[in-house]
Amino acid sequence: MSSFWVRRLWQSALTLLIMLTLMFFMFRMLPGDPTATVISPALYPKAQETLRIQFGLDKPLWEQYLVYVKNLAVFDFGLSFHTGRPVADEISGRLLNTILLVFPSMIAAYALGALVGAIVGWRRGSKLEAILVFLSTALQSAPVFWLSMLAILFFSIRLDLFPIGHIVSPGMFPEENWRMYLSMDFLHHLALPFLVNTLYQFCFPFLLMRSSILATVGEDYIELAKMKGLTDRRVLYHHAMRNSLLPLATTLPMTLGWAVAGSVVIETVFSWPGLGLLMVEAVGRSDYPVVQAAFLLIAVLTVVGTLIADLLYTLLDPRIVNA
């Protein structure tokens, strides 16, 4: 491994460490006392004491911190204040639900956005271009929760095509096992949030690709490709699009982490039991071990995504050699 990657890994690890440290202290230093919800001042002092010891809150802050970091190393995120169950168990299923909703729609949105953006940018000045640019800007400007509500109003309530929310019909899969994800019922529930999210996420890659194609059109190598007698399609797909795709493709892994964080809103509207909804609930209940773990997870996703983005770049762009 070259020194570039050694340094890069180092940096990422450091970033993560700083983040988890900051988060740890943020949750404990800020004015609102989250422990108040678990250890109600109304309890007997004795009971309060027991609870403190159970959650490890009796030790000095720095010691708590060391224990926290040590436990993290074995993926022990502590206990939920709300349920008393290990946070890791609480989160893992929720994360899967979010990923099943977010990743496919992100990938679909990026693929579609890039393709349509490229075609529209290549044939610049068309009516279709103006309409699409306007529509996608407007779409991007609308709050996604509102769009979701309109979609539910129209598709679920008026047309009765899709369920109003949740991941499966109530009572269908009481034990919530893997079979759930293979059922038609799950897909039926997934369809509407997937469509809304895809449509919403479509705007960014579409607009980016279009402007990036517009910028490539004037490049000398595009002109040369035309002069070589290549067909118009070949110039578009093999030269203009290939080169403009590079920045877009490499931002995708990074964006995935953000998309998980951004799923908060859409999950709330569709009552989708994902990480986002969990975070909102946990914040509402001051269940900070859960929130902290969710944050950490997203941070890891983003940092790893950034690393993958860098890696992709070096793989896809021959100009970058980290010798």
Partner 1 sequence: MEDSTPVVDVQGLHVGYRTASGPARALLDIDMTIQPNERVGLVGESGCGKSTLLKTIMGVLPPNGEVTEGRIFLGDDDLLEMSEEARRKTRWAEISMITQSALNALNPVKRIDAQILEAVRAHRRVSKADGKALVARLFEMVGVSPDRAHDYPFQFSGGMRQRAVIAMALALSPRLIVADEPTTALDVIVQDQIFTRLRKLQDERGFAMILVTHDIALVVENCQRICVMYAGMIVETGQTQDIVNKPRHPYTIGLLNAVSVLGSTREPIAIPGSPPNLFEKLGGCRFAPRCPLATQLCHTQVPPRVDLENDRVVRCHHWEKADDFAAKASSAETWAQAPAAQLENP
Partner 2 sequence: MIKVDNLAKYFYLGQSFSEKIRRQEPKALRAVDGVNFTVEAGQVMGLVGESGCGKSTIARLLVGLETPTSGDVYFGADSAQSLKQRDRRAFHRRVQMVFQDPYGSLNPQQRIGEIVTRPLIYQRNKMTDSEMRTLAVTALQEAGLSPASDYLDKFPHQLSGGQRQRVCIARATVLEPEMLIADEPISMLDVSIKWGIIQLLKRLVRERRLAMVYITHDLSSAGSICDQLAVMYLGNIVESGPAQQVIHSPQHPYTKALLASTPSIDPAFTRETAQITGAIPNPLNVPKGCRFHPRCPIAQPVCATQSPDDRGAEGHYAACHFAFDSQPKTEELA
Partner 3 sequence: MRTFLTFINVTWKSTGGRISLCIFGLCLILAVIGPMIAPFGPSERCYDAAGKLLRLTPPSWEHPLGTTVMGRDVLSQMLWGARTAMLVGLLTALGTVVIGLNFGLIAGYFGGRIDAILMRITDILLGLPFLPFIIVLLALTDRNIWTIILAMTFVMWRSTARIVRAEVMSLRERQFVAAARTTGASDADILYREIAPNIMPLAVTSITFALAWAIITEASIGFLGFGDPDVVSWGSIIYDAYASQAMYRAPWWVVPPGIAIMVLVTSVYFIGRAYEEVINPRLQERS
By CB under 8 A, residue 220 contacts partner 1: yes
Window 25 to 64, contacts with partner 3 (CB under 8 A): 26-27, 30-32, 34
Stretch that binds partner 1, among 89-97, 109-117, 133-141, 213-221 (CB under 8 A): 213-221
Distance between CA atoms of 242 and 123, rounded to whole angstroms?
17
Q: Quick check: 7 binds partner 2 (CB under 8 A)?
A: yes
Closest CB to partner 2 among residues 7, 166: 7
Query: 181-240: which residues touch partner 3 (CB under 8 A)?
Result: none
Question: Rounded CA gap, 211 and 56, in Å?
Answer: 54
Query: What Å distances lie between residue 256 and 10, 29, 110, 201, 244, CA to CA?
Result: 22, 30, 11, 11, 20
The region of 3-11, 126-134, 267-275, 281-289 touching partner 2 under the rule CB under 8 A is 3-11
User: CA 216, CA 225: separation in Å to the nearest integer?
Assistant: 12
Closest CA to 183 of 194, 164, 169: 169
Per-residue DSSP letters for 197-231? HHHHHHHHHHHHHHHHHHHHHTSHHHHHHHHTT--
Q: Which of partner 1, partner 3, partner 2, none does residue 181 bind (CB under 5 to 8 Å by kind)?
A: none
Contact of residue 41 among partner 2, partner 1, partner 3, none (CB under 5-8 Å per partner type): none
Contact 104, 252 (CB under 8 A): no
CA 231/CA 212 separation, integer angstroms: 21
Least CB distance from residue 111 to partner 1, whole Å?
Answer: 20
Position 63 contacts partner 1 (CB under 8 A): no
| 298 is a contact residue toward partner 3 (CB under 8 A) | yes
Give the list of residues 6+ apart from residue 319 with CB closer than 8 angstroms, or none: none
Smallest distance from partner 2 to CB 323, Å: 8
Q: Would you give the binding string for partner 3 spanning residues 240-279, x where CB under 8 A is met?
A: -----------------xx-xxx-xx--xx------x--x
Residue 126 interacts with partner 1 (CB under 8 A)? Answer: no
Residue 36: how many other CB atoms lie within 10 Å: 10
Under rule CB under 8 A, residue 29 binds partner 1: no
Tell me which of partner 2, partner 3, partner 1, none is bound by residue 73, counting a contact when its beta carbon lies within the kind-specific cut-off of 5 to 8 angstroms.
none
